[in-house]
Structure 1
Amino acid sequence: MASLPTPSVSADSRSRAAALREALARRVVVADGAMGTMLQAQDPTLEDFQNLEGCNEILSLTRPDIVASVHREYFAAGVDCVETNTFGANHAALAEYDIAHRVLELSEAGARVAREVADEFTAADGRQRWVLGSIGPGTKLPTLGHAPYTVLRDAYQQNAEGLLAGGADALIVETTQDLLQTKASVIGARKALDALGADVPLIVSVTVETTGTMLLGSEIGAALTALEPLGIDMIGLNCATGPAEMSEHLRYLARHARIPLSVMPNAGLPVLTSDGAHYPLSPAELADAQETFVREYGLSLVGGCCGTTPEHLRQVVERVRDLTPTPRDPRPEPGAASLYQTVPFRQDTSYLAIGERTNANGSKKFREAMLEGRWDDCVEMARDQIREGAHMLDLCVDYVGRDGVADMEELAGRFATASTLPIVLDSTEVEVIRAGLEKLGGRAVINSVNYEDGDGPESRFAKVTRLAQEHGAALIALTIDEEGQARTVEKKVEIAQRIIADLTGNWGILESDILIDTLTFTICTGQEESRKDGIATIEAIRELKRRHPDVQTTLGLS
């Protein structure tokens, strides 16, 4: 809201955030449990809700005493941190009450209440308490077209700015159900951190249903592949199930995630009774599960979700406070992901096949279907390639005279749910690539970058790489510089090494997320000058892999 002061972050906040990072690195940190049921148990009136019944976030303004009492109960149980009363302080949830304009106000209010109680307990005994700024999912799933990605992203930025201004020591994007919504939350939060010059842990907690996937069908591997490259500090699970159902998903994360892990389960699966939902897991059983998770999977942050009470968390604290997270030796699998599954770049029994029949420049059939708006036919061509064994799909809509952004929005939006394979976004236009990224919840690959127009801040290389960094995409890079396409082994390797050093050193992109295409001219023309191009390409790949074994390589064939 324009009338609110510009959010800011204090030096004390930076100190607390640093202390939280240090604590998460050396011991088990315990968060609180359920918030909503604790608030409702105090029977707030309709007036307390400002006639917006069920909007718990309003209580941070009208009845901060009620909200503070919940925080106090959890801190008294021994937890290290509490989550703010801001789970619904987002655009989608507040819009249902016609108060979407109050995102920033309610986020800051919720954080301030929690901050005051945390400081109260810290002052009493000298032990630092922290505030986790809760960013809930809302009710709109952008993958299904419920709301535009950019609207959600910008509102999540306001959500995060309010939390930081109110004194949150970390941001936790939680109970996420749609990977595109999750990415909007994370990217919005990162924009808030940049805008305020803040540096706090950014945690993501996805929700896996009893089906074994997120609500829209995403496996835990797809979630990890899509979210870890966004620069988050921690990933974990919360809500939907009890700890028993979370075990295998945590096992996967423990094996593959480079970053620390968290878990906040429900108190078992709910049982419907005449009095409403009952959560059957006892405090001792939750403590047993959390101890097991810390010992077996090396978790750093544990807590509770629906049905967990201060007594549940008191017993968890007793059980884990003297434990050190078991060290992990993760084995990351670099790759891309669709909404549904992850696809490693390195296949066990095959090369990585990128299907190009959904490329308007390479497929006359696809181009004609696109030009005539036969979108279902375009989708069917994508499915044909899936059936024939492709591992990823190249999507290119570039065609003279067409609105590439509109075509990409249409087709990437359809492919997002219709394709089980990751998408390679293939365009010469930066805005067309952006349009694709804002439709895909999985992890895309961008095709491509090169140094044809240099590497300055306004070059296409910089613009595309900035998009890849923001959205966590992998990059195909071509061995082309200001002098043109490399023809010799030496020149191909030289340009490749320049690109790798640039992307890793200046942009923070991992070597394993770079796919170098050493290129070759058409080699079947019979022209003498191109006779050895194929050999040069093969030798360049061999030398590049010797020098950079983690780098991926690709080669387009006509």
Structure 2
Amino acid sequence: MTAARVGALRTALATRVVVADGAMGTMLQAQEPTLEDFQQLEGCNEVLNVTRPDIVRSVHEAYFAVGVDCVETNTFGANHAAMAEYDIAGRVYELSEAGARIAREVADEFTAREGRQRWVLGSMGPGTKLPTLGHIGYGTIRDGLQANAEGLLAGGADALLVETTQDLLQTKAAVLGARRALDALGLDVPLLVSMAFETTGTMLLGSEIGAALTALEPLGIDLIGLNCSTGPAEMGEHLRHLARNARIPLLCMPNAGLPVLTNDGAYFPLAPDQLADAQETFVREYGLSLVGGCCGTTP
């Protein structure tokens, strides 16, 4: 990582709207990786960072090709809780570093080719267990996400994105794990937090937007916002509260609407222009610094 590149990202976030990518998992699955590609760990997308970097690389290339400023690493599940379900909790750092390295290589290629800086956001997912409900210990989550963050930073991530958080205790553990990683490596990169709010208007465990902001802003994060769970229509009130009360910039990466269930499975109803219009409105009304997409979005 270079200080100049990270500084340029901080400047961009402070002065314009930075555009991130969209969904990762569905793009990977569309290329039909085999059970062998997954090392017999079906559905463990992070393993593809090691076995099929070509597939992961192709997703990043597809997003950069349509002009995004930054991509997220394929490390959403590279945490202790999710990896332990596959019995590979010891591979968190390895898979995180590999995922960041692939994204970094592609970003640098596009930067060199087009003369425009491209960045890598290190994805730190929520895991599959909620500490507030006693599913997992706080220290276990924090230390696993520290390993996740250290791998991401070693691989060349320009920022750390604690995303899709549903439990404020888990979110705090992730932020502190990320901070410990930065301190251990002597680095300083932007630390972003993105929460998932349900259609009920709260996070999964009932926290309201005001409580979330009050709990997280004092931890010294650089951006706060929302992703996943819903489409943009359900995010407006939360963003309005953040715009009025947050002292830090905002981000938003909605799904392409709420999923519609059919006989052929679920699909997300918002067309690209509809999602773009919604994000444009959010930028105008709430002053977002970073926008992107989540489930159901594509290049």
TM-score, normalised via structure 1 length: 0.53
* Residue equivalent to 1:170: 159
Which residue of 2 is the match for residue 205 of structure 1? 194
Alignment match, 1:141: 130
1:278 maps to what in 2? 267
In structure 1, which of residues 208, 215, 222 is the aligned counterpart of residue 211 of structure 2? 222
Residue 115 in structure 1 maps to residue 104 in structure 2? yes
Where has structure 1 moved over 2 Å in runs of 4 or more? none
Q: Report the Cα distance in structure 2 between the residues aligned to 1:170 and 1:276, rounded to whole angstroms.
A: 35
Aligned to 1:19: 8
Question: 53, 56, 61: which one pairs with 1:64?
Answer: 53
Specify every segment of 5 or more residues in structure 2 that has no aligned partner in the other structure, as ranges: none
Cα distance in 2 between the residues matched to 1:303 and 1:282: 14
Alpha-carbon separation, structure 1, partners of 2:163 and 2:202: 16
Determine the structure 2 residue equivalent to 1:124: 113
1:276 positional shift: 1.4
Aligned AA for 1:254? A
Partner of residue 253, structure 1: 242
Q: CA deviation at 1:238?
A: 0.2
- Whichever residue aligns with residue 196 of structure 1, its letter is L
Q: Which AA in structure 2 matches 1:277?
A: A
Cα deviation digits, residues 415-454 of structure 1 (max 9, x gap) = xxxxxxxxxxxxxxxxxxxxxxxxxxxxxxxxxxxxxxxx
- 1:267-316 Cα deviation digits (max 9, x unpaired): 00000112211000000100100100000000000000000110xxxxxx
Give the whole-Å Cα distance in 2 for the aligned partners of 1:73 and 1:290. 21
Q: What letter is aligned with 1:229?
A: P
Whole-angstrom CA distance in 1 between matches of 2:107 and 2:193: 22
> Which structure is larger by alpha-carbon Rg, 1 or 2?
1
User: Which protein, 1 or 2, shows the higher relative CO under an 8 Å CA cutoff with sep ≥ 6?
Assistant: 2
| In 2, Cα distance between equivalents of 1:240 and 1:304 | 12
Aligned length: 299
Matched ranges for 1:223-242 at <5 A: 223-242=212-231
Question: Which residue of the other structure, out of 196, 200, 216, is the alignment partner of 2:185?
Answer: 196
Q: Structure 1, residues 9-43: CA drift from partner, whole Å, max 9, x if none?
A: x4x2x221111000001000000000000000000
- Aligned residue identity for 2:162: V
Superposition pairs of residues 45-444 of structure 1, within 5 angstroms: 45-310=34-299
Q: Counterpart in 2 of 1:33?
A: 22
Instruction: List gaps (5 residues or longer) in structure 1.
Output: 1-9, 311-558
Match of 1:33, as an amino acid? G
Alpha-carbon distance between aligned partners in 2 of 1:267 and 1:169, rounded to the nearest angstrom: 26
Write out per-residue CA displacement over residues 189-222 of structure 1, whole angstroms, 9 at most, x where no aligned residue: 0010011011100000000000000000000000
* CA distance in 2 between partners of 1:274 and 1:105 (Å): 39
3-state DSSP class of the match of 2:193? strand
Matched position secondary structure for 2:160: strand
Q: Distance in 2 between matches of 1:236 and 1:82?
A: 17
Task: Give the partner amino acid of 2:239.
Answer: L
Find the aligned partners of 2:262 and 2:73 in 1 and give their Cα distance.
Answer: 29
Distance 1:274 1:49 in 2: 28
Q: Partners of 1:66 and 1:141 in 2: how far apart?
A: 31
Which whole-Å CA distance do the structure 1 matches of 2:260 and 2:184 have between them? 45
1:285 & 1:215 partners in 2: Cα distance?
27
C-alpha deviations, 1:215-259, integer Å up to 9, x for none?
000000000000000000000000000000000000000000000
Aligned mates of 2:63, 2:114 — CA distance in 1: 16
SS of 1:133's equivalent in the other structure is strand
Shift of 1:81: 0.1
Deviations 1:328-370 (A, max 9, x none): xxxxxxxxxxxxxxxxxxxxxxxxxxxxxxxxxxxxxxxxxxx
Instruction: Using the aligned pairs only, state the percent identity.
Output: 82
The alpha-carbon deviation at position 151 of structure 1 amounts to: 1.0
Aligned twin of 2:33: 44
Distance 1:185 1:58 in 2: 21
Q: 2:235 aligns to what SS in structure 1?
A: helix
SS at match of 2:113: helix
Q: In angstroms, what is the RMSD of aligned CA positions?
A: 0.5
For residues 434-487 of structure 1, give each alpha carbon's deviation from its aligned partner in whole angstroms, at most 9, with x where no partner exists: xxxxxxxxxxxxxxxxxxxxxxxxxxxxxxxxxxxxxxxxxxxxxxxxxxxxxx
TM-score, with structure 2 as normaliser: 0.99
Once residues 154 and 278 of structure 1 are traced to their aligned partners in structure 2, the CA distance between those partners, rounded to angstroms, is: 36
Q: Distance in 2 between matches of 1:146 and 1:100?
A: 16
User: Which whole-Å CA distance do the structure 2 matches of 1:133 and 1:309 have between them?
Assistant: 19
| 1:445-524 superposed matches below 5 A | none
Letter in 2 for 1:32: D
Alignment partners' CA distance in 2, 1:25 and 1:69 = 30
